[in-house]
């Protein structure tokens, strides 16, 4: 069973909201169109704005299986699609030398399925959401490999032939834009940029993700995070996840506790901590 279109943009938005993800209409529209048109969705934005959570929340809302491929430098087809069980093949080869026929060495019996192959071969009764996370960390060769998958939801394994998805999954790719992706990859995707939320929406997110948090803490933390994001020379600006952690930290301490005491909940680079302290960024918050 493939993922069906949600029926409307608002239905897509409601599905995310049911899992505590407050999406604005443009994001819900992008998700709806990805489902309606059967195209992959490429989400770009700063780290921590909730790109990965889109796929996770929608999978949970629709009871789909989430298959995640975490990209990294050097990732290749053997990490993403398949590999061969060489140790078992070697044992089979030795058995054959002893007169015991173990069958073709490059058959499915010796195939190790990786995330993308699992997604393509998912059963008809299980909808799938594929998350290809931080695609910008992979190299050009891996991008080129993905083109066949994203175009036709199929891949070619030389020893086995072409494998086509029985039910095309929803594919969500995320990028922190540490490098530019190639046009050939982008052309195969719908595109959406996720920005930091407005202060009002971020307060709503804090209230949802930290049940029982006083509005005083939610407002104070969101205001402080907003000031930190204005410091463009920080190594790492805090994302929504850090806002939530900071709210929990203040809830564990005291609503009126100095923010500098728990600044390590949102800033993780020593030089950033020093800059913020020296500039008095959080004074009056």
Q: What is the pLDDT along the chain (285 residues), one digit of tens a residue?
A: 456 556 799 999 999 999 999 999 999 999 999 999 999 999 999 988 999 999 999 999 999 999 999 999 999 999 999 999 999 889 888 887 766 666 678 888 899 999 999 999 987 788 999 999 999 999 999 999 999 888 888 888 888 899 998 888 999 999 999 999 999 999 999 999 999 999 999 999 999 999 999 999 999 999 999 999 999 899 999 999 999 999 999 999 987 889 999 999 999 999 999 999 999 999 988
| pLDDT, position 69 | 97
**How high is the pLDDT of residue 4?**
58
SS (H, E, C) 194-208: CCCCCHHHHHHHHHH
Cα–Cα distances in angstroms (integers) from residue 195 to residues 91, 95, 221, in the given order: 53, 59, 18
**Structure pTM?**
0.89
| DSSP 8-class letter at 61 | H
Exposed / middle / buried, residue 230 (Cβ in 10 Å: 0-12, 13-18, 19+): exposed
Count CB neighbours of 58 within 10 A: 28
Q: With b meaning 16 or more CB within 10 Å and e meaning fewer, what string describes 168-204?
A: bbbbbbbbbeeeebeeebeebbbebebebbeeeebbe
At 232, list the tokens: 């463009």
- CA pair distance 141, 139, nearest whole angstrom: 6
Q: Which spans in 25-130 are helix H?
A: 25-37, 51-62, 77-80, 86-97, 115-120
Please tell me the predicted confidence (pLDDT) of residue 1.
45
Is residue 71 within 8 Å of residue 138, measured between CB atoms? yes
């Amino acid at each position: 069973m493939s993922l069906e279109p949600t029926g409307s943009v608002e239905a897509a938005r409601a599905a995310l909201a049911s899992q505590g993800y407050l999406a604005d209409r443009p994001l819900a529209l992008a998700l709806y169109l990805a489902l309606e048109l059967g195209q992959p969705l490429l989400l770009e934005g700063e780290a921590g704005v909730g790109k990965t959570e889109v796929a996770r929340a929608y999978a949970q809302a629709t009871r789909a299986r989430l298959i995640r491929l975490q990209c990294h430098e050097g990732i290749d087809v053997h990490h993403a699609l398949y590999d061969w069980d060489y140790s078992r093949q070697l044992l089979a080869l030795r058995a054959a030398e002893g007169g015991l026929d173990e069958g073709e060495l490059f058959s499915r019996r010796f195939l190790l399925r990786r995330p993308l192959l699992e997604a393509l071969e998912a059963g008809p009764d299980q909808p799938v959401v594929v998350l290809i996370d931080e695609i910008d960390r992979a190299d050009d060769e891996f991008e080129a490999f993905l083109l066949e998958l994203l175009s036709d939801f199929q891949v070619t394994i030389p020893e086995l032939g072409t494998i086509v998805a029985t039910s095309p999954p929803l594919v969500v790719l995320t990028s922190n834009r540490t490098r530019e992706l190639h046009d050939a990859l982008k052309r195969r995707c719908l595109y959406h940029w996720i920005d930091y939320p407005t202060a009002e929406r971020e307060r709503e997110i804090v209230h949802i993700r930290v049940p029982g948090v006083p509005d005083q803490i939610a407002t104070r933390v969101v205001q402080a995070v907003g000031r930190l994001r204005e410091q463009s020379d920080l190594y790492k600006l805090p994302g929504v996840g850090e806002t939530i952690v900071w709210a929990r930290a203040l809830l564990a301490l005291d609503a009126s506790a100095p923010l500098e005491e728990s600044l390590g909940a949102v800033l993780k680079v020593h030089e950033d901590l020093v800059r913020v302290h020296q500039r008095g960024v959080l004074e009056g918050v």
